[in-house]
Chain A
């Protein structure tokens, strides 16, 4: 039944202008036009979208979860990147 396989697409929805596209889910379609129409029918039945993206799932390069420590933990100690690291007297007011 592998003849039945059609490519997987990832669907991203912008719910209204001013917001970023967010991942909504995935679907199968033979080509980009079918993917876009299927995304419209599948993910925007309740006025969820002002814009749609479909991306071939195979085109997404993901980070390796086993490398999450190496990639993302070193940033945890750089607390000087956050405003709360710095002391400013209350008298100065909002800064």
Chain B
């Protein structure tokens, strides 16, 4: 919960209090949750604001690639399911913005950062959805990867973030199944449908593996996040979990993963992927993916064209309040 009553400038102005920092770390180590008005090191607050807002932006921008197929969904059942799924993503963005706001930053500030191109969001949403099978691939793979990431976040040390994630994980439980069902139906359908599914897998597979972020050796934020129990598994650990879960699913579908080097290591019991093209990841992150410009442009347009609506809502509320005050 976000309460403003105690919003003093407490954390900002205090000099680095080593005793308080030690007490803070001890609470984290004891698996206690941190709540909005509790003491927290400035770096912890900044880390959380960055991570939660990026997560929120990802949900909102993530509405666009799937939203691209709502008007063309090939059956009413699929249309309703897809619309409900994309709606959930909007809801999840809102839960996450609210969690970020408990750290003392306004949603408007975070949204402005996104629209100015100063904030990051998941690189995966900068890829285009070209066929209906992409909707299946996104649900199966992108949501599958997201779940790997999100389930441990339900135990994140920051209470509001953990609570938002619990709600999100509960609601998202249908998302991956929805995607897999689309893929399965296509794979059991006509040759054209199966080819559509294979093409989607070919295009989404590597970008999905990149979703977990750079290899542990190169990850800048991992160590702090682990110590603060914000992130409980490393990028590579999560990627491995995803790979082990997903390869058998692809086999079940009868699809071929576009990785000639993919092999099962009988000694470790894990699947090993071939080398990931991190140059592509860096390029997409830097704004040069296939759809970066269009995604941001769409969000900017919605924001700009909605300005007069938000203004009207506030003006009306203000008039009502004034009229009530006059009547009283």
Q: Which residues of A pack against B, CB within 8 Å? A: 1-6, 8, 10, 23, 25-28, 30-31, 34, 42, 45-46, 57-58, 60-62, 64-66
Question: Secondary structure at chain A's binding surface: helix, strand, loop or mixed?
Answer: mixed
List the B side residues contacting A10 at CB < 8 Å.
1-2
On whether the beta carbons of A26 and B87 are closer than 8 Å, the reply is: no
On whether the beta carbons of A26 and B108 are closer than 8 Å, the reply is: no
Distance in angstroms between the alpha carbons of A5 and B310 in the assembled complex:
9
On whether the beta carbons of A60 and B108 are closer than 8 Å, the reply is: no
Question: Secondary structure at chain B's binding surface: helix, strand, loop or mixed?
Answer: helix
Distance in angstroms between the alpha carbons of A26 and B112 in the assembled complex:
20
Chain B's interface size range is 35 or more
A46-B171, A62-B37 are known; give 17 further A-B pairs, CB within 8 A.
A2-B106, A5-B108, A6-B310, A10-B1, A25-B163, A26-B1, A27-B94, A30-B310, A34-B313, A42-B94, A57-B4, A58-B4, A58-B5, A61-B3, A61-B5, A65-B37, A65-B39
In the complex formed, the residue of B with least CB distance to A7 is B317
Distance in angstroms between the alpha carbons of A82 and B30 in the assembled complex:
27
On whether the beta carbons of A65 and B108 are closer than 8 Å, the reply is: no
Q: Does B272 contact A (CB under 8 A)?
A: no
Task: Say how far B305's CB is from chain A's closest CB, in angstroms.
Answer: 14
Q: Quick one: which of B4, B108, B317 contacts A30, CB cutoff 8 A?
A: B317
Distance in angstroms between the alpha carbons of A42 and B32 in the assembled complex:
29
Task: Say how far A40's CB is from chain B's closest CB, in angstroms.
Answer: 12
Task: Say how far A49's CB is from chain B's closest CB, in angstroms.
Answer: 14
Q: Does B46 contact A (CB under 8 A)?
A: no
On whether the beta carbons of B316 and A62 are closer than 8 Å, the reply is: no
List the A side residues contacting B1 at CB < 8 Å.
10, 23, 26, 60
Interface membership of chain B positions 286-328, coded 1 if the CB is closer than 8 angstroms to chain A and 0 otherwise: 0000000000000000000001001101101100110000000
On whether the beta carbons of B98 and A27 are closer than 8 Å, the reply is: yes
Q: Does B167 contact A (CB under 8 A)?
A: yes
Q: Does B277 contact A (CB under 8 A)?
A: no
Q: Does B91 contact A (CB under 8 A)?
A: yes
Distance in angstroms between the alpha carbons of A2 and B3 in the assembled complex:
19
